[in-house]
Amino acid sequence: MQKLFLKFYAFEYRNFFSKFLFLFDSEFIHEFIVNIGEKIGGFGASRNLIKKVFYVKNRKLNQTILGINFDNPIGLAAGFDYKAKLIKILPSLSFGFQTIGTITNHSYNGNPKPRLGRLIKSKSLMVNKGFKNPGIKEIVKKLQKNGFKIPVGLSIGKTNTTKNMSQQEAVIDIVSAFKIAECSRVNFSYYELNISCPNLFGDVDFYSPENLKELLGAVTNLKLKKPLFIKMPIEKTNDQTIKMLDVITELPIAGVIFGNLQKNRKDKAFDVKELKKFPVGNFSGKPTQQRSNELIELAYRNYGKKLVIIGCGGIFNAQDAYKKIKLGASLVQLITGLIFEGPQLIAQINIDLVKLLQKDGFINISEAIGKDVS
């Protein structure tokens, strides 16, 4: 019965509800949906109602990674819930984990508009928020007394400012945010360090091995209590990525996330006419998919025994998620698929992942990690 409802809801969302929502400004709808999610999540009765129809759990999807228990491998990526409004509703939608943020040391109201846009034919979103968020102090204050039903991570990045921040100032800024998070009583399960957002002002660069080592050395010197993941770019070459991973694996860092937004406007996934509507910003969704998969495989082949890999970019169904897992991702994250396919997507992915595991003869999702890497 649940499967039939989910299919019906998916059909209604794609053919009717999303078409209505897409008539309105992207950022307005984003804020509206997040606020609705917060309100629904604020009441036990509404959470339970959502859970009855959208919640899926299967022990084949359960994993313990870095001492953290994940009921399933599907998470909400950083960039969607940057005000920590969805922590109570997401478990009812079958999410296995979520990342709040990206959060910075100081608040930022966002880049000049447009900050969000839809490329429907390209199955992509234009993103130009530039770490819009209320700041680390406000976030930890809000979450101080909250318990989490699923693992919740915190993404931290450099404060975005039109002032030309130096490399050293940027490192101090990031370290300051981590210190506040660490001193708080918020029970984050892990941290993400976002070094790869392409929508920030200034010339600060954490991609060169020297600068990356300076930043990561300063952060790891804090002796963080929780595992740390690095949110990686996807536009760098394999050689450049390997050099970055060499630095990362020299330090006590748990893993990496591949990856962030697509800067390459020549990617074959784009509809050229759609792309011309957005002279600013960078892109999520389908245009990130291929390169994300390539870098997951690269990282797993070379560092699979040293790093936990989280796959992010272009997940619209269980097959997309499973491919990332078989290329080496232990967990996966999404945003764009949720917007284009609907809130039932997470439940559908989990149901279909179980079928894919059974088809391949795997007892648990962990057995599929890296199986397509020879």
CA distance 62 to 76: 17
Instruction: At 277, list the tokens.
Output: 């509507």
| Strands, sheet with 124-127, edge to edge from the N-terminal-most edge strand | 116-119, 124-127, 282-283
Q: Max Cα separation, the chain?
A: 58
Cβ–Cβ < 8 Å for 119, 271: yes
Q: Where are the alpha helices (DSSP H) in the chain?
A: 2-12, 18-21, 26-41, 44-54, 136-143, 167-183, 209-220, 238-248, 272-275, 286-303, 318-326, 336-341, 345-360
* Contact of 372 with 327, CB cutoff 8 Å: yes
What is the distance, to the nearest Å, from the Cα of residue 122 to the centroid of all Cα atoms in its chain? 20
* CA–CA dist 35, 42 (Å, integer): 11
The CB density around residue 221, as the number of other CB atoms within 10 Å, is 11
Alpha-carbon distance of 201 to 178, in angstroms, equals: 21
Which residues in the chain show pLDDT less than 70?
none
Residue 334 is predicted with a pLDDT of: 98
Say if residues 208 and 272 touch (Cβ distance below 8 Å).
no
d(CA 269, CA 212) in angstroms, rounded, equals 31
Residue 263 falls in which region: left (phi positive, over 0), alpha (psi -120 to 50) or beta: alpha
Instruction: Give the closest residue to 312 by CA, choosing from 238, 273, 262, 360.
Output: 262
Residue that has been written with the tokens 């997401």 in this structure: 90
Helix (H, G, I), strand (E, B) or coil at 213: helix
Q: From CA 332, how far away is CA 88, in angstroms rounded?
A: 20
Given a contact cutoff of 8 angstroms between Cβ atoms, the answer to whether 29 and 318 are in contact is no
Q: What is the pLDDT of residue 186?
A: 95
Q: Which domains does the chain have, with CATH numbers?
A: 2-368 (3.20.20.70)
- Give the per-residue pLDDT at 162: 79
pLDDT of residue 154: 98
